[in-house]
Amino acid sequence: MRNITFTQAIRETLAQELRNDESVFLLGEDIGVYGGAFGVTRGLIDEFGPERIRNTPISEQAITGIAIGAAVAGLRPVMEIMFMDFITLAVDQMVNLAAKLHPIYGQKCPMVLRTPPGAGRGYGATHSQSLERLFLGTPGIKVVAPSNALDASALLQASIRDDNPVIFLEHKLLYPLRFEMPDELPPPQPIGFAKRVTEGDDITIVAWSYMTILARRAAAELANDGYSVEVIDLCSLSPLDMDTVLESITHTGRAIVVEEGPLTGGFSAEIAARIAEGAQDYLEAPVRRITSPDLPFPASKPLELTLIPSVADIKAAVKEMCE
């Protein structure tokens, strides 16, 4: 076993897939010599050259169009959007073209869109959003949101090898975190399955991406106070593994869904609704959501931290629901 960062796991996985399949190439802004805004692709151009590590102009629309065209032509592009906020410029082509190619025309579109969502670094309102909600109602697009290095590597391999478009979320607060990993990268992990990362009897917390880290920390601290908390890491948002979620809640009888995005219109509301429909006979309390408020994130870090869901928020909600 070795101890590596989330960033290193993504970089090693990209390198492995580039070596294993000549149809794989990367494209995005500053991903070459500079190595990307968060250093994920640093050094890859030295091994694979500018033909396969392609710097692009500052145009998310162009990057997306090129990736879709390359995928249709038989390549496997992995595009990077520097901040998830800029994904709004890719929505049209992803929703109205990439997502529709297979269901309408039977055409494969094997492309991955990598992007970092999330706040916590004081980047302000236009560089801190979690916008997965924009795609989760669009059939034909898979959305993956790992919370640790092992799952990130396994799910990224599966995403690159998938024959349809995948949006791969790498929360920017995960990049510097360190995780235990085997010396060899794990095998691909099928997309669409959640994981029970802690077991408990009193309450279930459902989370994804960096919110899973907070949920696990809260569960560990609550255990010292006598609360038994089960944490479900969704891993994949589309397809969504509700079977694992409902199985947990029928056991615990209580559920909290944690989402970093704002309250109104969030994906946590969809999950809560499905829990209410699928486990209503087992619920001992209404489903609770913990989200950010309906406000833009400020650039001031102290103010920003008052908006983002925290370990303290999760602990308080668990105690209130259980007591």
Q: What is the pairing mode between strands 142-144 and 236-238?
A: antiparallel
SS3 of 260, please? strand
Sign of the dihedral defined by the CA atoms of residues 267, 270, 275, 278, in that order: negative
Tell me, what amino acid is at 256? I
Contacts of 168 (CB under 8 A, 6+ apart): 112, 113, 114, 115, 144, 155, 156, 159
Tell me, what amino acid is at 304? E
- Give, in order, the Cα–Cα distances in Å from 37 to each of 115, 168, 193, 316: 11, 16, 30, 36
- Give, in order, the Cα–Cα distances in Å from 67 to each of 26, 151, 157, 224: 9, 24, 18, 49
Q: How far apart are the first and last CA of the chain?
A: 41
Q: Which of 60, 170, 259, 260 is catalytic?
A: 60
102 in active site: no
Which residue, among 239, 267, 233, has the nearest Cα to 166 in the 3D structure? 239
- The CA dihedral of 191, 193, 199, 201, to the nearest 10 degrees, is 150
H or E segment at 237? strand 236-238
127 in active site: yes
Q: Which of 29, 80, 127, 171 is catalytic?
A: 127
Do the beta carbons of residue 217 and residue 311 sit within 8 Å? Answer: yes
- Give, in order, the Cα–Cα distances in Å from 302 to each of 212, 294, 308: 22, 18, 11
In whole angstroms, give the CA distance from residue 104 to residue 113. 21
List residues with catalytic annotation. 60, 127
